[in-house]
Structure 1
Amino acid sequence: MATDMQRLVGTSEDDDEEDMEMDVKEEDDDEEDDMEKHIATPPLVGVDGLIGSSSNNNRFHHPQIHEQASTPGGGARRSRPLEEKERTKLRERHRRAITARILAGLRRHGNYNLRVRADINDVIAALAREAGWVVLPDGTTFPSRSQGSKPISGTSAAVTPPSSQMVPQQASLTSLKVIASGYRSPVDYNASRMKGVYAPNSSPYDSSSRGQSQIPSALGDGGEPLDTQALIGGSVESVEAKQIVDVPSKFPECDFAGTPYIPVYVMLPLGIINVKSELVDPDGLLKQLRILKSINVDGVTVDCWWGVVEAHAPQEYNWNGYRRLFQMVHELKFKLQVMMSFHECGGNVGDDVCIPLPHWVAEIGRSNPDIFFTDREGRRNPECLSWGIDKERVLRGRTAIEVYFDYMRSFRAEFNEYFEDGLISMIGVGLGPCGELRYPSNPVKNGWRYPGIGEFQCYDQYLLKNLRKAAEARGQAFWARGPDNVGSYNSQPQETGFFCDGGDYDGYFGRFFLKWYSQVLIDHGDRVLALAKLAFDGTCIAAKLSGIYWWYRTASHAAELTAGFYNPSNRDGYAAIAAMLKKHGAALNFTCPQLHVPDQQENFSSALADPDGLAWC
């Protein structure tokens, strides 16, 4: 009798304490199940007045502690003691505190779109999506098609195959070429390379000592079983503790029928027009263009260098070399994308020629070096003109904006027939160094090397005057200066007092300065694109935006800040730029060649870089 009673009573008080450490929501669900079963089944009364329940919890209760209230169905309802309610409240507060810290860390250091009142389910879903999984609104989760698995159509419930089906499945898996016990499937291997997201070491295809598999069998769209070995499509080896995936040599062909047509343009060499505005090697160029035509390339892209066309005197333009080039392109019935390049060529990665700014601009710069961007140490950067002279008449009676507009208007007048014929399909507008909308914060000629944070470039007299006006308008005249303790070109964020976690970048002065610094960039792009839209009315215009991806996994995003992108982890710095481009109907050319380069992950980790995360934002 005692033995039967012990079985009916269930677990001991120690086990009961362990059960109470479960999540609050799970505990409440268990109680609702208890209620339903108490209604259907009367309580069992045993010795010493103990009450045994047939519920899954198998709890026992003393009549002096738990009062019972009879129900019309003959069941009993119990109430929790005060101590258990207090423990439940403490557990709930502790769980919420942990969730809040997780959310704060992910928002600050990661790149996860989490709503303001997110809970732990949102966190798990975000991590799963970052690992390449698909998470449906109802919580159903499965690998994406790119990972080699397909969801079960028509249902969201997991299907557990019978043991008779597990034998051939396990037999087919044994043919995999696996060495070492720490094997990870290709899905787990790919997931572990993304943003440091946790991925389990055990394989979902592990057929270890379990009585029945908990993994649903792979089914096709029509419910037909798929060949598991073909689904994996490769072998994995462990060589000196390194996981190596053998990628299949033959990939399935994709059917692009019905998808939008994307034209292909090939960029011509930077020095195809020399400093005398002459076409270099026209015969060789013609042969290369014919090869491009034979492979159905749609068009070519070419830079129109300000330093070549207006080289010797203001408003004296020499388009001879470009006219001959455009005639050749027109005869081959290519399309043409032309870049208005107002910067010098020769000081950056990939520059194979040297094309300086116009000579007359260099002469002005020797007498007034403040027309160029300047760093804190007073070093000038003659790569392009400072945005501080956009409205200053320091270029032989013209402002920088007027110089740019006159150049673009001359180009439109010179090649108007090609605009009317549709030969010129797009005009790219140079807005800064390398033609990109950014400050020259990382010049190699001044000693910068990757992954240095760079330096602010606002110390010419014209930008400092602009800063002084902004500080006075804010009522803080002593803010008319650059920030202190920002390090040097090759510093790291944690080595500075301004860019480190919790640094001055997020203080009152830091926010004021960075807002002003980025607004100068946006205003410059706004002015130049407005005039470009006027000069090239009816033609698509575009702007280049540089991908500053290193130190993206830090809170400050220091390299982006010095380049003019006010994009720390708690602010969207690209929304205002995108709005400005949309205002003028300009296309965005995002230049970040390091995207989707798996063999660079180790180099990226040392600089807390994340080009994919930057592009995704």
Structure 2
Amino acid sequence: MAEVVEEIDAKVEEEEKKQEEKEKELHVWNNDYAGTPYIPIYVMLPLNTISLENEVVDPEGLIEDLEALKSAGVDGVMVDCWWGIVEGKDPRHYQWSGYHHLFSIVRNAKLKLQVVMSFHQCGGNVGDDVNISLPEWVLKIANHNADIFFTNSSGAHNPECLSWGIDKVPVLQERTALQVYYEYMLSFRQQMEGFFADGTITEIEVGLGPCGELRYPSYAQTQGWTFPGIGEFQCYDKYMMEKLRKAAEVQRHPEWGMGPSNAGSYNSRPQETEFFKDGGDYCSPYGKFFLSWYSQTLIEHGDSVLKMANLALKDVKISAKVPGIHWWYRTESHAAEATAGFFTADSRCGYKSIARMFATHNTTFNFTCAEMRTADQPKEALCDPEALVVQALNAAWDSGISAACENALSCYGQEDYNQILKNSKPLRGGGATGHHLDAFTYLRLSPDLMEEHNFEVFAHFVCCLHGELEDSELSSPHLHVEGD
């Protein structure tokens, strides 16, 4: 019996020593970033925080989670305001009741809000476990005119978001897409005035495409895409094709008024296509014309929507998200980026023109995949997320605008957090001239995050982002941190 007791005591002592070592490691981690610039952190709320019935899902559980986030030093939360819920039934009939309740809960928790104007469909992408379509009245229009959606060369329409081709065409019950976006944002500003006035809402992220990102829906899982396929060009609806034809005529090459016929399919590799292979048609006069037109049309869409956002939202911080398409980055054609709308072939930087456009609207450049390490990616896909993040953030800073980041996939470990910190503070202790992120948004609040060990590591990560030294022990998600 005594031997059993001694064995149990030895195991307990061993576990205690392991815990002490972990604590020491985390405190050293904090020391490494103590005194660095304060970067606020927001945590994305679950995609279905507001139900299809326009109600807060599990408000009691949410309050408990928000208290835990506050205890860890989190500055605020991010939430999607789904177009398909708010204006879901009839045009110009906006239902904000669920969001008003949610915002009140967040305000009572003494947290801030980043709010996303989500003009896209939720569902069908990595990490999505919720399905929220575009408004019903929009889908009814699409039954008779599917060209309001992006279309690939095979004629498949994608209902994730509206085509840029109808930004200025009044096909949405006599409204253009830009008018629809503007009136939605104006209604939000008017209905949520109190949350702007008291400082609860600190930022509006304006959705500019699928997943809220400024890109074409070129790598849609709903259409069979799997990583690391190059994706497909999405310009074959009748409205986009008309724009392409006119652009080709201006160049006095009417034969260029069509998309590439040799660019492969969703799951092709660059070298398998005549268009994207090294030295392929992407660098021919036609290829350069098409890629330039395709990317410029994306930039014009972003420019138009952000202009509407500033008019509707008035004197509030605006941001927009740019995706981190890191696969095939180390190829000449940058095929996956090209089909998504970024003209980065042959050492071009397709992010500079986007950043300059953002600058005209004083918009923060929000980039993804901040947690990814190049060494962890499959070698055959020629990925380089680390170089991509540096390129994109520098494009923003060189254009004189703020930059922010998100993680692309769920992460809970110190290695992922270290990569985020590396990107957040590339010149640690660099003083007034050193660049650092304006904010970081963590994807996302979940039971996994709230698991005790994961939450403990996350809380130390928050301190590192804040440049603070954490000197209290956080052993439970619901334990208050001294000095909060």
Q: Secondary structure at the match of 1:339?
A: strand
User: Which of 303, 318, 322 pairs up with 1:541?
Assistant: 318
CA deviation string 1:250-270 (max 9, x = no partner): 856525454322112111111
2:386 alignment partner in structure 1: 612
CA deviation string 1:512-556 (max 9, x = no partner): 000000001000000000111112221110000001111111110
CA distance in 2, matches of 1:507, 1:371: 31
2:40 alignment partner in structure 1: 263
Q: How many residues align?
A: 367
Contact conserved, 2:374 with 2:385, CA < 8 A, in 1?
Answer: no
User: Which of 154, 157, 178 pairs up with 1:380?
Assistant: 157
Q: Which consecutive unaligned segments of at least 5 residues does structure 1 have?
A: 1-247
1:557 alignment partner in structure 2: 334
1:156 alignment partner in structure 2: none
Change in 2 beyond 3 A, CA 1:415/1:402: same
Q: Which consecutive unaligned segments of at least 5 residues does structure 2 have?
A: 1-23, 392-484
In terms of fraction of residues, the more helix-rich structure is 2
Q: Secondary structure at the match of 2:81?
A: strand
Q: Secondary structure at the match of 1:254?
A: helix
CA deviation string 1:21-70 (max 9, x = no partner): xxxxxxxxxxxxxxxxxxxxxxxxxxxxxxxxxxxxxxxxxxxxxxxxxx
1:288 alignment partner in structure 2: 65
CA distance in 2, matches of 1:537, 1:477: 42
Which residue identity does 1:344 align to in structure 2? Q
CA distance in 1, matches of 2:382, 2:225: 18
TM-score, normalised to structure 1, is 0.58
2:116 alignment partner in structure 1: 339
CA distance in 1, matches of 2:37, 2:135: 42
CA distance in 1, matches of 2:308, 2:382: 39
Contact conserved, 2:88 with 2:134, CA < 8 A, in 1?
Answer: yes
Say if 2:241 is the partner of 1:451.
Answer: no
Contact conserved, 2:63 with 2:109, CA < 8 A, in 1?
Answer: no
Q: Secondary structure at the match of 2:31?
A: coil
Say if 2:311 is the partner of 1:527.
Answer: no
CA distance in 1, matches of 2:200, 2:390: 33
CA distance in 1, matches of 2:307, 2:172: 21
Q: Secondary structure at the match of 2:47?
A: coil
Change in 2 beyond 3 A, CA 1:539/1:487: same
1:499 alignment partner in structure 2: 276
- Structure 1 position 294, deviation (Å): 2.1
Say if 2:218 is the partner of 1:441.
Answer: yes
CA deviation string 1:452-486 (max 9, x = no partner): 11110000000000001101111111111011211
- Structure 1 position 492, deviation (Å): 0.7
Change in 2 beyond 3 A, CA 1:607/1:257: closer
User: Which of 353, 367, 372 pairs up with 1:595?
Assistant: 372
Say if 2:92 is the partner of 1:315.
Answer: yes
User: Which of 147, 152, 157 pairs up with 1:370?
Assistant: 147
User: Which of 52, 55, 61 pairs up with 1:275?
Assistant: 52
Q: CA RMSD in A?
A: 1.4
CA distance in 2, matches of 1:564, 1:597: 23
Which residue identity does 1:404 align to in structure 2? Y
2:75 alignment partner in structure 1: 298
- Structure 1 position 593, deviation (Å): 5.1
Which residue identity does 1:391 align to in structure 2? K
CA deviation string 1:555-597 (max 9, x = no partner): 1011111000000133121111010011111001101255226
Change in 2 beyond 3 A, CA 1:608/1:531: same
TM-score, normalised to structure 2, is 0.74
CA distance in 1, matches of 2:357, 2:153: 29
Q: Secondary structure at the match of 2:159?
A: strand
CA distance in 2, matches of 1:252, 1:498: 47
Which residue identity does 1:497 align to in structure 2? E
Say if 2:180 is the partner of 1:403.
Answer: yes
1:475 alignment partner in structure 2: 252
Question: Between Structure 1 and Structure 2, whose CA radius of gyration is higher?
Answer: 1
1:466 alignment partner in structure 2: 243
